[in-house]
């Protein structure tokens, strides 16, 4: 079967000072504004429309602290801005990989739209007049005002005009058509702080002429309303009443599960986490996961599932004074948690649930069908069934040549090749994890994953449920695979060289990033992971996404957790 050829992106360098053009395997359209035309356009701009409602006052400006010295090299490499979409006036584009690159002289973005695919646009900093951004607004946003020359070139190659005129025109009196808008992805507080400082000082460093401002959430919401709907807020919207626990709710209590054989002592501080805007802590997360396990899972699912508590992954990757320096890194990690699995056979389970907290952000890992991971003998047998010609092309051949090795040794993982851009998730995380093998995670619709569970057609995989998807989880997946391999080698001792040994790596147990509903703020990540697991195991008749959206609306989930806690309070004996 002929292999489909992916069309190369059409690169439109919408800039009049971009002299470098890459001619390798791409269709390049070099656009240069002639000097006379540029002068004419500049002259015409003297009468451009300047609305007063875009003025930023001092009270709207947020001071940006410089980055710590350890990030001093961050401006020397391209930086990734996480964006869900970008708008040029009234036209919205999807962004490949949800990334806009800030490079030495320009923004670079790969876009797609129903009428145009494989489009790469370079926006030179010299064409940018203003760059206002905020992560505090309801929709984190960057507003970009550009020179009219850029819009003229944009309209020439990307037709977006309608009966009212050009779809993108910085001089238009229609506010919806005047700006470029980056719809930024919500971040954890730590990542947000780094991104704000990096974006601000990166642009300040690369171009002194851009008016760069980090603005308040309130002002950003007003500008967003203007830029998207051409509406100026005139009537104050009543403030939403936040869900807050009363004095009785905050009283410390002991709750029990499984006929009170499992108990949690919840302090006032633990319960305070249920107030809207607060992050759920480990005690609340562990209690509710145990509640799901004992009272929501069917008896069959409960028998086939092992639930780790929220400290497992932290302990697995936390260096300690008791670590033995004379054994491999894999064995050191394993020794930290081997007591946790002393009385359980993980390889009889269909599901292993691992809650993870990194950089104050919760996400959850579901390891599925690990008992069906192939053995070395299975892989060799697969290879031998191929013809000699097929072997040279076979993915299985490439796979088995990489994976027949001891994952419990120091050679289990190799250092990744240099990355083309900064990925702050890796820089901030100092956990003792396995360095990943440049794995490219699979992306799968959550409905398909739920359907596979219902049909019992799942393959071995490590599924990441993340409500922000702000950084690669390759190292987490690699570390868990390594743990499983060492645990298997300890529990299922086989003769040296036995082909019956199972192999746990990214080929036999790939990583899947589940396409799940995303949080709309910075504090609800804990709520989302609880709902992900609850929905995955208990609500197969309704669509997963609709169920999550319904139960995570507003403070519904926080109220639900409080209700469950109050229903399981163990009354003190008189």
Q: Please work out, in degrees rounded to the nearest 5, the angle formed at the alpha carbon of residue 359 by the alpha carbons of 353 and 365.
A: 15
Q: Which of 525, 539, 548, 568 is catalytic?
A: 525
User: Do residues 513 and 469 touch, judged by C-beta distance below 8 A?
Assistant: yes
Q: What is the DSSP track for 5-73?
A: PPPPPEEEE--SS------SSSEEEE----HHHHHHHHHHGGG----GGGPPPGGGBPP-PPPPGGGGG
Q: What is the DSSP track for 364-430?
A: EEEEE-GGGPPBHHHHHHHHHTS-HHHHHH-HHHHHHHHHSS-TTSGGGS-PPPPPSSB-HHHHH--
Tell me if residue 17 is catalytic: no
Q: 416: which 2 tokens?
A: 């990744």
C-alpha to C-alpha distance for 415 and 438, rounded to whole angstroms: 8
Q: How many CB atoms lie within 10 A of CB 209?
A: 9
Q: Which of 16, 60, 466, 524 is catalytic?
A: 466
User: Do residues 187 and 180 touch, judged by C-beta distance below 8 A?
Assistant: no
Secondary structure element (H or E) that encloses residue 219, with its range: helix 217-229
User: Do residues 252 and 267 touch, judged by C-beta distance below 8 A?
Assistant: yes
Distance of CA 321 to the CA centre of its chain: 33
For 59-72, b where at least 16 C-beta lie within 10 A, e where not — what string? ebebebeebeeebe
Q: Which of 195, 361, 539, 568 is catalytic?
A: 361
Q: Is 501 helix (H, G, I), strand (E, B) or coil?
A: coil
Taking the CA atoms of 506, 362, 518 and 91 in sequence, report the sign of the dihedral they define. negative
For 363-375, b where at least 16 C-beta lie within 10 A, e where not — what string? bbbbbbbbeebbb
CB proximity list for 89: less than 8 A, separation 6 or greater: 160, 166, 167, 168, 169, 172, 176, 177, 178, 179, 180
| Rg of the chain in Å (alpha carbons) | 27
Tell me if residue 525 is catalytic: yes
Tell me if residue 466 is catalytic: yes
C-alpha to C-alpha distance for 264 and 255, rounded to whole angstroms: 5
Q: Which residue has the tokens 């642009």?
A: 203
Instruction: Report the catalytic residues.
Output: 361, 466, 525
């Amino acid at each position: 079967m002929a292999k489909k050829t992916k069309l190369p992106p059409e690169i439109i360098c919408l800039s009049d000072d971009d002299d470098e053009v890459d001619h390798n395997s791409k269709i390049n359209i070099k656009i240069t504004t002639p000097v006379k035309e540029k002068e004419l356009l500049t002259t015409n701009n003297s009468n451009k429309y300047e609305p007063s409602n875009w003025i930023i006052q001092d009270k709207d400006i947020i001071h940006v602290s410089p980055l710590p010295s350890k990030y001093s090299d961050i401006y020397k490499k391209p930086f990734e801005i996480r964006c869900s979409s970008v708008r040029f006036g009234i036209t919205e584009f999807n962004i490949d990989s949800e990334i806009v690159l800030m490079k030495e002289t320009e923004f670079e973005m790969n876009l797609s739209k129903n009428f145009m695919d494989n489009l790469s646009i370079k926006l030179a900093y010299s064409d940018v007049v203003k760059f206002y951004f905020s992560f505090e607004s309801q929709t984190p946003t960057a507003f970009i005002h550009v020179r009219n020359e850029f819009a003229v070139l944009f309209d020439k190659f990307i037709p977006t005009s309608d009966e009212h005129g050009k779809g993108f025109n910085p001089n238009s009196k229609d506010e919806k058509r005047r700006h470029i808008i980056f719809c930024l992805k919500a971040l954890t507080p730590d990542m947000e702080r780094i991104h704000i400082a990096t974006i601000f000082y990166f642009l300040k460093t690369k171009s002194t002429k851009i008016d760069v401002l980090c603005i308040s959430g309130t002002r950003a919401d007003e500008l967003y309303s203007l830029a998207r709907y051409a509406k100026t807020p005139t009537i104050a919207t009543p403030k939403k009443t936040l869900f807050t626990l009363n004095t009785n709710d905050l009283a410390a209590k002991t709750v029990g599960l499984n006929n009170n054989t499992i108990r949690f002592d919840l302090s006032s501080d633990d319960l305070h986490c249920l107030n809207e805007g607060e992050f759920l802590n480990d005690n609340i997360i562990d209690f509710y996961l145990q509640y799901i396990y004992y009272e929501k899972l069917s008896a069959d699912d409960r028998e086939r599932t092992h639930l780790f508590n929220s400290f497992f992954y932290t302990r697995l990757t936390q260096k300690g004074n008791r670590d033995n320096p004379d054994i491999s890194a894999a064995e050191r990690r394993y020794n930290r948690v081997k007591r946790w699995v002393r009385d359980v056979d993980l390889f009889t389970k269909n599901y292993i649930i691992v809650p993870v907290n990194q950089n104050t952000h919760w996400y959850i890992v579901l390891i599925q069908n690990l008992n069906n991971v192939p053995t070395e003998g299975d892989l060799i047998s697969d290879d031998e069934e191929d013809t000699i010609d097929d072997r040279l092309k076979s993915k299985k051949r490439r796979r088995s040549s990489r994976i027949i090795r001891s994952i419990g040794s120091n050679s289990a993982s190799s250092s990744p090749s240099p990355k083309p851009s900064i990925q702050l998730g890796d820089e901030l995380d100092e956990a003792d994890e396995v360095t990943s093998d440049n794995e490219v995670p699979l992306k799968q619709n959550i409905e398909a994953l739920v359907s596979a569970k219902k049909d019992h057609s799942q393959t071995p995989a490590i599924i990441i449920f993340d409500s922000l998807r702000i950084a690669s989880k390759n190292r987490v997946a690699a570390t868990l695979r390594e743990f499983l391999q060492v645990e298997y080698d300890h529990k299922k001792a086989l003769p040296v060289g036995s082909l019956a040994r199972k192999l746990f790596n990214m080929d036999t147990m790939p990583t899947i990033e589940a396409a799940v509903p995303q949080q709309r703020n910075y504090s609800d990540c804990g709520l989302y992971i609880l709902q992900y697991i609850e929905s995955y195991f208990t609500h197969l008749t309704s669509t997963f996404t609709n169920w999550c959206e319904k139960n995570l609306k507003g403070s519904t989930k926080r109220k639900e957790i409080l209700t469950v806690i109050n229903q399981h309070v163990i009354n003190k004996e008189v």
